[in-house]
Structure 1
Amino acid sequence: MTAQQSPPAPVLAWAERTLGPLAVLRGAAAGPQHARTWHVVRTGDGGRFHVRVAPDPGAFTRETFAHRHAVPALGPGAAPRLLATSAAHLALIVTALPGTPLDRLRPATAMLRTVHWRAGFLLAQLHQAARRTGTAHHDAPTDLSRLADEAARHLGTVGDRLSADEQKRVMALADRLGFVGRLPLGYIHGGALGSSLLWTADAQLALGDFESARFAPVVLDFVDLACGPWTAQPRLRTAFFTGYGRTLGHDERLALHCLTALTAARRLAEARALGDRAAADACEAVLDRVNHEVSG
């Protein structure tokens, strides 16, 4: 992945027509499946913004819809504010929010529980936001079957990096996704919450990066945290769902187990390919926990 230090010239020209003269503070990593984001400052008054270019029209539409119809439900300061969009450039300008991503926080355990409680509350607000359209409501349940199919294809390409027992356990859980019952639907964030949730110096929590937002089973939004901080600190999961306002039903718990295992297996294969022992150990711990919880 390479870094692009400045937005494409037409995008920068559009952004400066909208905001005024700009200086780029940080370039964007050019990833094929995610929006490229440049951190810019307005030279006239020091105002800070993000210029984002979506990877495709679908992502641009999702992010624009999210900002216009769902993000306002989160309240002032809880998400970036949309300032302008350009369909021609697949670009958006949003306000920059200060804060440390959740996955980089190392405060005391009591503070982490507060952060996760607030994360649960914030996600509940998002899941209840925006009005469902008939098409979105109809298509949402297909996310689970699609993810199971993708997991099978992915394991076919990285199977040599997983043991036979690991492959067997993961595929068994992928198969179980097909038998999960009806799941609660909502307007989900759909991205990596660990990097999208920002904890500020004044003890506030904000959520950004809405390019994957859509109507889907809400359990999908819990997978990133289940593969991360909840593994070593189960109390954080308890705090999150206290803030969320409800616990998971039986089918949701099963779906979360399956989805967590699929995500951990993918990350484990990637970590082993890169020789990242620490990341591989963390993924193995997730798979062991899921296997224990399902077997128990």
Structure 2
Amino acid sequence: MTEPTLLPEPVRTWAEKKLGTLGPAPGSSADGPSRGSWRVVRADDNARFVIKIARTPAGYTRETFAYRHAVSALGAGNAPRLLATFPSHLALLLTDLPGLPLPGPRMKPAALRRIHWRSGALVARLHHAGRPTAADHEEATTALSRLADDAGPHLDAAEDRLSTDEQKLVLLLMDRLRILGRLPLGFVHGCLESGLVRGPEAHLSLRDFEESGFAPAVVDFARLACGPWLARPRLRNDFFSGYGRALSTDERLALRALTALHAVRTLAAAGSGPGHRQAAEDARVVLARLDEEVTP
């Protein structure tokens, strides 16, 4: 493999024992290694693969479980395939599934709406995948309370970027989140905004399952609500049309709270660069809209 310093030597040796001589795939993203992911090509036949090193043992466990027990429900070609694992180095060897995150507003509205409908249908398959154990059910029942408790440190970190009224709104929504009853459970992805990928001929797929697991299905929608649905609310309707059902009253309340939490996290983490500034502006728009929707 060329440029071997980009990939830890034990992982490179392991991958080449499995596949043969490898080199960097043409067009690989320059920031791939910073995300722990390398696209490679096999010298013999130009077949493409991904070598991924999880950031944490928990992420490695979640991702390997997803590939072994849930991803097959998506159907052939709708997610990468897991070929091998290297537990001591938290490494996974996957088939490559080229594509880019969901397109933005520059795409024609009709095409964008079709993509979100298809996205909803694909996510529905994932949410119905796998068989949760009794322990999964028990953990899922406390997931929303734990997320509500997580708001405190982020509110503290974003305090200078939030008005008093905004802080009160977030705290109100977190209180409501804690008292919600049991919500529909699903095998959630955890980061749909970046995990949904548009490939050739508008084919949709899912990748990157390190945040996946059984949880209330609604937790998968907050990032979309703060992202593509923010500028084009109609896309939300298209998504749920493809998903096959509307959210219940309690799920809608939960989504408001989770959206607020995501906005606060964004403000807490925002730096000074152009991308961070836009994310912070979007987060403020989210909180303003929630303020209009929620009556204490």
Q: TM-score, normalised by structure 2?
A: 0.91
Alignment of 1:184-263 (within 5 A): 184-191=184-191, 193-263=192-262
Q: Are 2:103 and 2:112, in contact at CA under 8 Å, matched by a contact in 1? A: no
Q: Are 1:268 and 1:283, in contact at CA under 8 Å, matched by a contact in 2? A: yes
- 1:10 alignment counterpart: 10
| Deviation per residue, 1:39-76 (Å, 9 max, x gap) | 11112211111101112222212111111111111001
- 1:43 alignment counterpart: 43
Identity score, percent: 53
- 2:133 alignment counterpart: 133
Residue 61 and residue 105 in structure 1: after superposition, are their counterparts in 2 closer, same or farther (change >3 A)? Answer: farther
Q: 1:273, CA displacement in angstroms?
A: 5.4
- 1:28 alignment counterpart: 32
- Residues of 1 paired with 2:63 and 2:281: CA distance? 34
Residue 270 and residue 5 in structure 1: after superposition, are their counterparts in 2 closer, same or farther (change >3 A)? Answer: farther
SS in 1 for 2:12: helix
- Residues of 1 paired with 2:106 and 2:272: CA distance? 28
What amino acid is the match of 1:71? V
- 2:281 alignment counterpart: 281
- Residues of 2 paired with 1:264 and 1:44: CA distance? 47
Alignment of 1:79-228 (within 5 A): 79-102=79-102, 104=104, 106-191=106-191, 193-228=192-227
| Deviation per residue, 1:87-144 (Å, 9 max, x gap) | 1221111111122211557311111111110111011101111111121121112221
Q: Structure 1 residues 269-278 or 211-220, which shifts more? A: 269-278
Q: TM-score, normalised by structure 1?
A: 0.91
SS in 1 for 2:88: coil
- Residues of 2 paired with 1:12 and 1:105: CA distance? 39
Following TM superposition, where does structure 1 have runs of at least 4 consecutive aligned residues deviating by more than 6 angstroms? none
Unaligned runs of 5+ in 1: none
What amino acid is the match of 1:226? A
